[in-house]
Structure formats: structure tokens, C-alpha cells
Chain A
Amino acid sequence: MIEAREVQKFFGSLHVLRGISLSVQKSEVLVVIGPSGSGKSTLLRCINGLEAINGGEIFVEGAKVDPHSRDVHKLREHVGFIFQRFNLFGHLTALENITLAPRLVKKMSNTEANEVGLRWLTQVGLSDKAKTYPAQLSGGQQQRVAIARAMAMSPRALLMDEITSALDPELVNEVLEVVTLLARQGMTMIVVTHEMGFARNVATRVVLMDEGKIVEAGLPSDIFDNPRQERTKAFLNKVLTH
């Protein structure tokens, strides 16, 4: 349902994505790992049209992603994005954060949106925080609200950009548990992460990126236990031994 063909991306003279091709099927969880600056986050942002690509093509459910088209918002309606820094709307309560887009974009009534919102708040274990503002929530709670906010739009796929990188270590698990649950329920996801244990648990397929290219792709067991590429081995050695 998501397909990238030979995607190229430049930031000025910096060549960030050098011909990335990948495809994600329905209910698949693709985990993207790799060192910082390898282009993982940029790839996710391109898939959602937050960045324009300079070459190649990206398709989501057969529709071409073009951030300059008038219909790009329709695509985003169906593809949720979870940010590293949560990006909850600071002027709205947790519940209002979740219900804003369903009301505006899906034209839900207030009652209906509140119902959906509360259901998702309960799903992420924060039903008692409906009226709380983001500034008063912990990082882990904010990120769970962000997940609920994305899910309330009933997206067909979720893109997660290092969603636990900005969290204190003790708050990481509460977020990963929610994501694992969604994966079990068959949510299609592309997950960029540095949490290797989580990657291994949740992934149906793992991709290792470095310097804007895909170095190796395969089942989690293959990548983590029998990596074929030297680059993969070197990366895993670095992240797994500390």
C-alpha cells in the first residue's frame, strides 16, 4: 500500500536520499534502522508529503504523493504521522487535540468526535487526562496522546519518526507498548527507531539505511542474527553492545 521508487532527495547540495525503493503491504510493520543522518526521518517525511522529493516516485494506495498538489491533505488524512517531539497543540487539551482534526477534516459532530477521542484516550491509558493541557503531561503521556490523535483519524497507515527519542528512559516502554498493541491489531506502519529490542519484536521486516541508501532488508531474525552486509554488522555491533 506504500511504495517508493528510486526516491532522491537533496537539501541544497546535501544528497540525503540516494535512490530509495521499498514497498510496504497492508498490516506490515516495516522498521527502519540506521545511524543518524542516514535519511530515515527524511524518507518518512517524504512519504507524508512534508518534504518534496527531487527524483523518483512515492505512491500511497496507488495515489502519487505530491506535496504541491491540492489533494495532498486527502492523502495525509489517511496516513498518520507521529513526531519525535510529539507536536501536540499547546493551546488545546488532550481531548481537544484528538478531536480537532476529526471535527475539521472528517466533519464529525462534537459528540461523535468526543466519543472517538475518549475511546482512543482510553486505549492509550489516559482517559483521566482528557481535560489536561500538553504542558502538564509527561513526555510519555504526550506521545500517547499524539498516537491517539493520529488514530482518531482512522488512518490506513502510521508513520513513526523516532517517537521515543525525546523521552526519558523510564517513559519509553509505555509508548512502545501502545505501538506494539497497534501492530498486533494489524495496523500498517513504517517505524523509524533506535530501540532495537522493540524493532525486533514489532517488525515484520527490517530495513537498514546508511548514507541515503538501503544497505540491507529482510526479516528481523535475519537482520539481527545473521546480517549479511559488513555495514549492518558494524552498526548492530555499535548499538547492541553498549
Chain B
Amino acid sequence: MQIDTMIHIGDWLFLLEGAGVTIALCLQAMFFGILIGLIVGVARTAKTRVIELPATAYITIIRGTPLLMQLFIIYYCLPLFGINMPKFLSAALGLSFYTGAYVGEIIKAGLQSVDVGQREAARSLGMVPWQEFRYVVLPQALRVIIPPTFGFLIALVKDSSLVSIIGYVELTRASKLVVARTFRPFTLYLAAAVLYFVLCYGLSRFDVKYLRKKFSASLTGT
């Protein structure tokens, strides 16, 4: 029997499909992660202990343990307690909570960077707390929040390769599978790396070209 070491068009498509899964996985982790981050970030700045403490505990635990362990716990340990979920959900959940902790801490720092005088001015004009937050604090905090958040999200795209460990087929796992059949590690891993690069580069261009321009306008006054 002969081993087919050719890389077929189907293999390339399989790789691209993996990249698509990575994108989907990251997009949802970004969406839910930022949502969680917003909640715990605001909770971290709360003066009430009962609100602040759980948020702090969550951030400390997630940031203090490897993502790999978090994925293992969700995928292997939760079923022991009768909680079973599909691989995509395990992977998505793990990455979302992971993102939430880091983004939460960035958001907290961003909110605290806004001078207390800004809040007082808003309040003295009769604004209610949510108006003060939405129209005065948040827009100014975003300027501080966006750059490190994108730094984290770019790292997240690469970290998402870890979910291949629990057998979920995304870009890294897809390339491994094709390598296993074709014995062409160099070509395939290089291709996978190029695909990761394209994703990360796109993300950083979006940040620099679009978001930073949008939110720094008032700083430079243009």
C-alpha cells in the first residue's frame, strides 16, 4: 500500500475551514468576553464589597491559572458533575471567561483613568448615574481601553489554538490532521501560521486605522 503524501485541494479547503472555525470561535469569545469584561470591570470599581469581591475573585482566579487548565476543567471535569456540552460550547465558554477576566481588568483601569472631576461635573449638571457613565465616563475611558484590549484580542486569536487540545477542530487541529495524513509538516504549519498572521494583522489594522482614529479625535482635536 502506498501512502499518499500529496496535499490535495481538499486539504487546503479543510485548513481554510479550520481558519473559519477559529474566526467564529474568536468572534464569539470577543463578544461575550467583552460583555463579561464590561460587567466585571464596572463591578471592580464598585464601592459595595458584595459586588466588588466576586468580580475580583473571578479575575484573580482566571488570570492566575493557565487557559489550558481552564479548558480541561470545562471539558473533562464538568461532565463528572453531570454537565455535558458540545466541544464548541466548551471551547467558546473557556475562551469567553478567559477574555472576560483580562478585558475586565483593562476596563477597570480605563474607567479609573477618568478624572473624578468629570463625574462630579456630570452629576452637578443633574445627570443621573447611567447618563454620567454612558456620556461622560465611558467615551473617555474607551480611549484608554481600546489599545490594550486589541493587544489582548490579538493574543487571543493565537491562544485559541489551545482548544485543539480538547479535540475541537479549528485551524491548529485542522493542520495537525492534514499533516498526519500527508507528512508535510513544514508546508502545512507554515500555511497555518500565515493564516493566523492574516487574522491578527487584520485585527490590528482595524484597531489602528479605524477605532483609534474614531476615539482619539477629541484628544488631537481633529
Complex contacts, B125 vs chain A, CB 8 Å: 76-77, 80, 100-101, 105, 149-150, 153
Q: Cβ of B218 and Cβ of A92 under 8 Å apart?
A: yes
| CA gap between A76 and B221 in the complex, in Å | 30
Complex contacts, A73 vs chain B, CB 8 Å: 123, 126-128
Complex contacts, B117 vs chain A, CB 8 Å: 83, 85, 87
| CA gap between A70 and B142 in the complex, in Å | 28
B140 at the interface (CB under 8 A from A): yes
Question: How many inter-chain residue pairs (CB < 8 Å) link A and B?
Answer: 75
Contact among A48, A81, A91, A133 for B140, CB-based, below 8 A: A91
B206 at the interface (CB under 8 A from A): no
Q: Cβ of B128 and Cβ of A87 under 8 Å apart?
A: no
B120-141 toward A: CB 8 Å interface, digit per residue (1/0)?
1111111110010001100110
Number of A positions contacting B (CB below 8 A): 31
A29 at the interface (CB under 8 A from B): no
**A82, closest chain B residue (CB):** B124
| CA gap between A73 and B125 in the complex, in Å | 8
A150-171 toward B: CB 8 Å interface, digit per residue (1/0)?
1001000000000000000000
Complex contacts, B127 vs chain A, CB 8 Å: 73, 101, 104-105
| CA gap between A77 and B127 in the complex, in Å | 8
Q: Which residues of B151-199 are within 8 A (CB) of A?
A: none
Shortest C-beta distance, B141 to chain A (Å), equals: 10
Q: Cβ of A83 and Cβ of B126 under 8 Å apart?
A: no
Q: Which residues of A57-107 are within 8 A (CB) of B?
A: 73-74, 76-81, 83, 85, 87-93, 100-101, 104-105
Q: Cβ of A100 and Cβ of B219 under 8 Å apart?
A: no
Shortest C-beta distance, A75 to chain B (Å), equals: 8
Q: Cβ of A87 and Cβ of B221 under 8 Å apart?
A: no
Q: Which residues of A119-156 are within 8 A (CB) of B?
A: 132-133, 135-136, 146, 149-150, 153
| CA gap between A91 and B136 in the complex, in Å | 8
Complex contacts, A91 vs chain B, CB 8 Å: 139-140, 143, 218
B118 at the interface (CB under 8 A from A): yes
Complex contacts, A132 vs chain B, CB 8 Å: 221
Contact among B123, B136, B218, B219 for A76, CB-based, below 8 A: B123
Contact among A50, A74, A135 for B120, CB-based, below 8 A: A50
Complex contacts, B115 vs chain A, CB 8 Å: 87
Q: Cβ of B118 and Cβ of A76 under 8 Å apart?
A: no
Most chain A CB atoms below 10 A, which of B125, B128, B140, B219:
B125
Known: A73-B123, A83-B120, A90-B140. A100 touches B135 (CB 8 A): yes
**B221, closest chain A residue (CB):** A133
Q: Cβ of A101 and Cβ of B126 under 8 Å apart?
A: yes
Shortest C-beta distance, B85 to chain A (Å), equals: 42
Measured CB to CB, the residues of B under 8 A from A are: 115, 117-118, 120-128, 131, 135-136, 139-140, 143, 218-219, 221
Q: Given known contacts A73-B128, A87-B117, what 18 new A-B pairs fall within 8 Å (CB)?
A: A50-B124, A78-B126, A79-B124, A80-B124, A80-B125, A88-B121, A90-B118, A90-B140, A91-B140, A92-B218, A100-B125, A100-B135, A101-B122, A101-B126, A101-B127, A104-B127, A135-B219, A153-B125
Q: 8 shortest A-B CB distances, which residue pairs?
A: A77-B126, A101-B125, A81-B124, A87-B121, A87-B117, A91-B218, A105-B126, A133-B221
